[in-house]
């Protein structure tokens, strides 16, 4: 499979990132019309800074729930507390005025609670979170449960449920985990810190979410070389399983303190062996080994840092609520939370049967592009196939099906008349047998 270089286009209200074609084709769009979608309180309040969001979506009630870390900010960043908010559309949020989860005085998490990951099983919310204290200075991972996502009970009998051991790669602490439930067992990816402050990602399994067994060959995902954008620390791993593929987003830090924090991506077929996304067109440091996939936007609210939230698949779209900040200025800006969307194409769409040559199936760029109001979309088929050509908007919603028919091998084209559509970026996707590809086009009226 051939990878393509990333493209950044800024048009009107949207920022579009066409960042990779492996293992699943995705086009991420920052919602610049609404971003940041979640802000904290006034300076000096407990949630002036808001970051590290975790979102659950209930399809039956069309309700979003968000848990987020919050801080007063400098000069006393910690302790962090965890807040709670709900939304009917993922854009407009209603938050509780007080934190729902706090450190417990006199215990191992007295200094902070942060980096929460939450799942819901049998109407019970389960949370794994990071904490530390003067009596337990190394970060560790705790566990708590709730009947409603608001009122939490910490597992004081077993906490912390995952602690650092003598392995050098994590000897200074563990935290910021993802936990996936899998047929009665649990899988965890977590950050481990060494004595130099370098963070790598390890793996552990459990039958009950409390007693964990670490993978003997940890860590499973390593920082890049010292000259790379992620050469200092990998943090906030967010893992999800989709179409038999594990997808991991992480925050990457460089040893060069003048560089920005950005979001990286890796994938795995077995949850242990990971491949970082690498744009083949970038061959020099700091992007020689791998590349960030959701970057900072200079001069904007996320102009110096982005960090991942947990992606959620809703219909044909992936949604991510992510943290951002603009801190390389003389003015102090708070951490805030934004929203991004991806039109998801399953990885099966990039696989071909043995008797089909991928190079013979081609989807061409529409012409003209930009266009007003008509454009022509052309493609080539290696063999006769059932073809479906669809148009999507930037939220991943299908606008129309231009074609759904069986076609012979050869070249084909169809015209799209967008007279009744608003200016903006649109996506067109073709399905022809096992071949799937998506491209972008710009309507400018």
pTM: 0.78
DSSP string, 402-425: EEEEEE-SEEEEEEEE-TTS-SEE
Q: Which CATH architecture has domain 352-443?
A: Sandwich (2.60)
DSSP 101: B
Q: What percentage of the chain carries pLDDT values higher than 90?
A: 66
d(CA 70, CA 49): 5
- Report residue 98 as tokens: 């007080």
Q: Provide the pLDDT for residue 328.
A: 77
Q: Which of 201, 182, 179, 199 is nearest to 190 (CA)?
A: 201
SS3 32: coil
pLDDT at 104: 98
* Secondary structure class of 370 (helix, strand, coil): coil
Q: How far apart are CA 81 and CA 73, in angstroms?
A: 12
**The sheet that has 124-132: what strands, in order across it?**
112-121, 124-132, 140-146, 153-154
Q: What phi and psi values does residue 349 have, to the nearest 5 degrees?
A: -70, -10
136 and 151 Cβ atoms separated by less than 8 Å: no
pLDDT for position 350: 31
pLDDT in tens, 282-297: 889 999 999 888 999 9
Model pLDDT for residues 350-382, shown as the tens digit of each residue: 332 323 333 568 888 888 888 889 999 988 888
Which helix (H) or strand (E) is 239 found in, with range? strand 233-242
| Equal CATH topology for 11-347 and 352-443 | no
DSSP string for 146-176: ESSSSS-EE-TTT-SSB---S-GGGTTEEEE
Task: Please check whether residue 308 is in contact with residue 251, taking contact to mean a CB–CB distance below 8 angstroms.
Answer: yes
Query: Backbone phi, then psi, for 358, in 5-degree steps?
Result: -55, -35
pLDDT tens sequence across 133-169:
999 999 999 999 999 999 999 999 999 999 999 999 9
Residue 312 near residue 339, CB atoms below 8 Å? no
pLDDT under 70 in the chain at which residues?
1-27, 343-360
CB 381 within 8 A of CB 412: yes
Alpha helices in 362-425 (DSSP H): none
Q: Spell out the residues 6+ positions from residue 285 whose beta carbon is closer than 8 angstroms to its own.
A: 225, 227, 228
Short-list 373, 390, 379, CA closest to 428: 390
- pLDDT, one tens digit per residue, over 86-130 is 999 999 999 999 999 999 999 999 999 999 999 999 999 999 999
Q: Could you tell me the sign of the dihedral formed by the alpha carbons of 16, 235, 88, 338, in that order?
A: negative
Where are the chain's structural domains? 11-347, 352-443
Q: Do the Cβ atoms of 291 and 281 come closer than 8 Å?
A: no
- Give the per-residue pLDDT at 184: 84
| CATH number assigned to the domain with residue range 11-347, chosen from the 4 options 2.115.10.20, 1.20.1250.20, 3.30.420.40, 3.30.450.20 | 2.115.10.20
CB 441 within 8 A of CB 426: yes
Contact present, 208 and 234 (Cβ < 8 Å)? no
Residue 358 confidence (pLDDT)? 36
Q: What is the rounded CA–CA span in Å between residue 98 and residue 107?
A: 21
């Amino acid at each position: 499979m051939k990878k393509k270089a990333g493209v950044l286009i800024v048009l009107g209200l949207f920022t579009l990132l066409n960042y990779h074609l492996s293992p699943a084709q995705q086009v991420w769009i920052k919602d610049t019309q609404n971003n940041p979608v979640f802000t904290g309180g006034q300076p000096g309040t407990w949630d002036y800074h808001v970051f590290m969001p975790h979102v659950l979506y209930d399809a039956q009630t069309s309700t979003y729930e968000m848990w987020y870390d919050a801080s007063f900010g400098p000069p006393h960043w910690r302790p962090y507390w965890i807040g709670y908010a709900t939304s009917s559309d993922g854009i407009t949020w209603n938050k509780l005025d007080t934190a729902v989860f706090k450190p417990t005085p006199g215990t191992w998490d007295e200094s902070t609670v942060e980096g929460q990951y939450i799942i819901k099983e049998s109407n019970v919310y389960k949370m794994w979170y990071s904490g530390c204290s003067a009596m337990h200075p190394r970060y560790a991972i705790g566990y708590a449960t709730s009947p409603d996502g608001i009122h939490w009970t910490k597992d004081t009998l077993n906490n912390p449920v995952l602690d650092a051991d003598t392995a050098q790669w994590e000897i200074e602490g563990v935290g910021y985990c993802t936990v996936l439930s899998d047929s009665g067992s649990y899988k965890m990816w977590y950050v481990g810190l060494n004595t130099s402050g370098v963070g790598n990602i390890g793996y552990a399994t459990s039958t009950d979410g409390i007693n964990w067994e670490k993978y003997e060959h940890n860590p499973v995902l390593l920082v890049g070389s010292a000259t790379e954008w992620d050469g200092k620390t990998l943090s906030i791993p967010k893992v999800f399983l989709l179409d038999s593929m594990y997808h991991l987003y992480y925050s990457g830090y460089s040893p060069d303190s003048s560089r920005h924090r950005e979001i990286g991506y890796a994938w795995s077929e077995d949850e242990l062996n990971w491949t970082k996304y690498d744009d083949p067109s970038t061959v020099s440091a700091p992007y020689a080994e791998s590349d960030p996939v959701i970057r900072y936007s200079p001069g904007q609210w996320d102009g110096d840092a982005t960090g991942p939230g947990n992606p959620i698949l809703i219909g044909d779209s992936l949604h991510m609520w992510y943290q951002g900040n603009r801190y390389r200025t003389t003015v102090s800006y708070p951490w805030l939370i934004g929203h991004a969307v991806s039109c998801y194409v399953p990885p099966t769409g990039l696989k071909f049967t043995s008797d089909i040559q991928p190079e013979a199936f081609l989807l061409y760029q529409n012409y003209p592009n930009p266009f007003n109001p008509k454009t022509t979309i052309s493609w080539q088929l290696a063999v006769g196939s059932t073809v479906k050509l669809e148009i999507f908007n930037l939220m991943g919603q299908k606008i129309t099906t231009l074609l759904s028919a069986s076609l012979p091998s050869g070249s084909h084209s169809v015209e799209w008349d967008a007279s009744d559509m608003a200016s903006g970026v649109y996506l067109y996707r073709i399905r022809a047998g096992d071949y799937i590809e998506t491209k972008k086009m710009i309507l400018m009226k």
